[in-house]
Each structure stands twice: as structure tokens, then as C-alpha cells.
Amino acid sequence: MIYGDNFNEGEVDALLNMADENDDGVISYSEWLMTAMNRQKILTHEKLEAAFQGLDVDHSNSVSVSEIKNFLFGSKSFDEQYLQSVFSKVDADADGDISLD
């Protein structure tokens, strides 16, 4: 599924290549998080907002650890404790969701 009306495959590929710090062809959660937090790598606020909205599948204006888990891993196995620890670092108010702000 592709979110948004203005999907530009070349632009997405460029952003993915920029985020893949270790060039293994996979963007880990920590690579994605560092890219999202590094304002020099994100071209505009609008693009960050579009990525956030793509993760916010229930349109609650927040992203839960469950939404991130489903996006990154689907039904594959992963280290849930690690994901939760990383998530808690950006969940400023510890409510279980991350807002765009």
C-alpha cells in the first residue's frame, strides 16, 4: 500500500539510501529514528509529516509502538524489548504514543 497522492519513487529511494547508514540494504529502527531526528537529512517538515502519517495507520495523530512494530516487522520475529526501549526514549510523556511534535 502506498500512502499519499504525490508518491515519488526516486525521492523515496534517495531518502532510503540516505537513511541506510551501514549500507546493508535494510533500514533498522535506529537508522530510521536517527534520520528522522537529524533535521539536516530531512528535506522538509512536510516530508517528515508525510512519513509520520504513513506510520499512523489508525489516523489518531499519534504513532504507537504497535504501529511501528507492524510497519517494521509485520509478522516477522524481532526483539520486542529492544523496540520498546527505543520507543520509550522518544515517548516524552510516556503515554504509549509518539506525536509528530
Instruction: Give the integer Cα–Cα distance in Å for 39 and 45.
Output: 9
- pTM score, two decimals? 0.54
Q: Write down the CATH number for the domain with range 9-98.
A: 1.10.238.10
Nearest-CA neighbor of 66 among 55, 79, 76? 55
- pLDDT score at 13: 75
Q: What is the share, in percent, of the chain residues with pLDDT greater than 70?
A: 83
Q: What is the pLDDT of residue 60?
A: 93
